C-alpha cells in the first residue's frame, strides 16, 4: 500500500474525520490533507508511530465494535 493510502487507512481505522484526527494527533490539517492526496509523503517513521499509537491505545477498535 502506498503512503497516502496508509495514512487514510489509519485515520479511518480510528473512526475520526480528518479534523478530529489532526486535532487528536496535533498534526496540521493541511499536512494530513496533502499526505492523503499524495501531494506530499509522510515520513516512514511517522506512519509507524501513528500505527503503533493507534493500536496501543486501541483507537482502532471503533470500527470493530
CB 29 within 8 A of CB 19: yes
Taking residue 50's Cβ as centre, other Cβ atoms within 10 Å add up to 21
Looking at residue 56, its pLDDT comes to 94
Phi and psi, residue 37, nearest 5°: -85, 0
How far apart are the C-alpha atoms of 29 and 32, rounded to whole Å? Answer: 5
Residue-wise pLDDT tens digits, 20-48: 999 999 999 999 999 999 999 999 999 99
pTM: 0.85
Domain ranges of the chain: 3-63
Q: Which of 27, 21, 24 is closest to 43 using CA atoms? A: 27
Amino acid at each position: 500500500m502506498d503512503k497516502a493510502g496508509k495514512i487514510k487507512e489509519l485515520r479511518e481505522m480510528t473512526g475520526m474525520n480528518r479534523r478530529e484526527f489532526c486535532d487528536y494527533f496535533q498534526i496540521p490539517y493541511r499536512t494530513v490533507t496533502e499526505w492523503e492526496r499524495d501531494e506530499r509523503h509522510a515520513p516512514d517513521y511517522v506512519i509507524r508511530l501513528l500505527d503503533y499509537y493507534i493500536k496501543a491505545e486501541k483507537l482502532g477498535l471503533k470500527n470493530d465494535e
